[in-house]
């Protein structure tokens, strides 16, 4: 998943989908820490509703630096992002983490994608079915909580379950090779997977099908896993993204990843503000 991103996800455990009585969301939200600070500029009321709580999260971008979500640094939980299973394993083996910034119980995110310009190692790009469960195992043994975000473009490099024999497209590869299931395998009770549904935003039925199939694959491997959908400013309008999420339903969507730019995030009534304000009004 590219940077300047927002993740919206339900807390693992017991969920409540009733409208919040306390003036705060009943869901958990994760956003790039800096982008979250931009969204505060656009809509402080919605930002406070989402981020002024320990059950919401801000992702890191630069190494082991924490991701403060201003002005909610004291309450929003930071998430440490990796693009490589090998890097997580090395950091744990060399006792770089856990540390005072990232203690036991912290969230770690595996942002694995394909392509020569993306830092996920070639071996991991060729076999996401192996390396996602490995990432999860390393994370859990070290006392962390894993979140996996496998990109659809891994279908271009996967040699373990080649897309040419599994429908030919990246979407069919993702579904037929049960990628979401591998993304939560060995992840424990709080494992999460982000399904990159954003490319299907302009087709309500395709968006729903991809998410539904992925949710089935994930919960088939890990009944306690949290499964997140994704929307992006790059794909479709705010109205289409909101419609797709509403079509699945807030009680069925276990989370949402919202990918945005910093410029839009700080724009009142912009793409992000429109979506999140609407979801807030519906009790998400």
- What is Dmax (Cα atoms) for the chain? 51
What whole-number percentage of the chain has pLDDT above 90?
A: 70
Residue 102 has pLDDT above 80, yes or no: yes
Task: Kindly state the average pLDDT of the residues 154-177.
Answer: 98
Task: Kindly state the average pLDDT of the residues 43-51.
Answer: 90
Rounded mean pLDDT of the chain?
89
Q: 143 φ, ψ to 5°?
A: 90, 15
Look at residue 30 and give its three-state secondary structure.
strand
Residue 30 has pLDDT above 50, yes or no: yes
201-244 residue pLDDT tens: 999 999 999 999 999 999 999 999 999 889 999 999 999 999 99
Residue 140 has pLDDT above 90, yes or no: yes
Cis, peptide link before residue 218, omega less than 30° from 0: no
- pLDDT-based confidence at 200, cuts 50/70/90? very high
pLDDT in the model for residue 78: 85
DSSP state at residue 20: P
CA distance to 41, 72, 241, 266, per residue, from 44 (Å): 6, 11, 22, 10
Cut 0.85: pTM above it: yes
d(CA 31, CA 48): 13
48-91 residue pLDDT tens: 988 888 878 788 887 898 877 888 888 888 889 999 999 999 99
Residue 24 has pLDDT above 60, yes or no: yes
Comparing CA positions, the residue from 134, 31, 128 lying closest to residue 90 is: 134
- pLDDT-based confidence at 1, cuts 50/70/90? low
Looking at the domain that runs over 5-281, which CATH code has it been given?
3.20.20
């Amino acid at each position: 998943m590219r940077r300047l991103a927002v993740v919206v996800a339900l807390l693992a455990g017991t969920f409540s989908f009733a409208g919040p009585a306390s003036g705060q969301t009943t869901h958990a939200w994760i956003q790039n820490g800096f982008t979250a600070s931009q969204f505060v500029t656009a809509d402080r009321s919605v930002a406070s509703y989402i981020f002024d709580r320990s059950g919401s999260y801000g992702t890191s971008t630069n190494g082991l630096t924490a991701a403060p979500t201003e002005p909610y640094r004291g309450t929003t939980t930071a998430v440490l992002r990796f693009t490589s299973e090998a890097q997580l394993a090395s950091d744990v083996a060399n006792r770089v983490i856990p540390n005072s910034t990232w203690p036991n119980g912290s969230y770690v995110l595996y942002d694995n994608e394909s392509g020569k310009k993306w830092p996920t190692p070639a071996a991991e790009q060729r076999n996401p079915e192996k390396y996602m469960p490995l990432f999860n195992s390393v994370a859990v043994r070290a006392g962390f909580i894993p979140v996996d975000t496998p990109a659809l473009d891994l279908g271009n490099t996967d040699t373990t379950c080649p897309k040419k024999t599994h429908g030919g497209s990246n979407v069919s590869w993702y579904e037929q090779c049960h990628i979401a299931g591998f993304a939560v395998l060995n992840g424990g009770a709080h494992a999460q997977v982000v399904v990159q549904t954003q490319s299907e935003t302009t087709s309500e039925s395709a968006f729903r099908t991809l998410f539904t199939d992925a949710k089935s694959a994930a919960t088939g491997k890990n009944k306690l896993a949290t499964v997140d959908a994704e929307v992006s400013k790059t794909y479709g309008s705010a109205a289409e993204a909101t419609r797709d999420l509403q079509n699945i339903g807030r009680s069925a969507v276990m989370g949402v990843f919202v990918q945005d730019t910093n410029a839009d995030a700080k724009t009142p009534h912009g793409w992000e503000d429109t979506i999140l304000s609407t979801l807030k009004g519906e009790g998400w």
